[in-house]
Amino acid sequence: MNAAFSPQPFDQAAALSELRTLGRRLDRQVTSRTGVTAPELDATLRLMRQLHTRVELSLSASLSSVVHRSLQARAA
């Protein structure tokens, strides 16, 4: 493992904000009837799915960490 490599920490609040922004964009794309194409809708939905998955993984990791610490505290 390379010690110089430091992945960016996941900013859950920013991801949720971006997810809301994408949701509003999707709403405008569908309701404005401006001739949005299926590939454009697919691209928006794909971004939303990617962000949602990252938020889920982040929440899962956080929950696992909390449960682990709680179990350690009870065992002590």
> In the block, which residue shows the tokens 């809301």?
20
pLDDT per residue over 18-69, tens digit each? 999 999 999 988 888 778 889 999 999 999 999 999 999 988 888 787 787 8
Query: Degrees (nearest 5) of the Cα angle 59, 65, 68?
Result: 140
pTM higher than 0.75: no
* Phi, psi dihedral angles at 30 (to 5 degrees): -80, -40
Structural domain boundaries of the chain?
Answer: 12-75
Q: Dihedral (C-alpha) 13, 17, 19, 23: value to the nearest 10 degrees?
A: 160
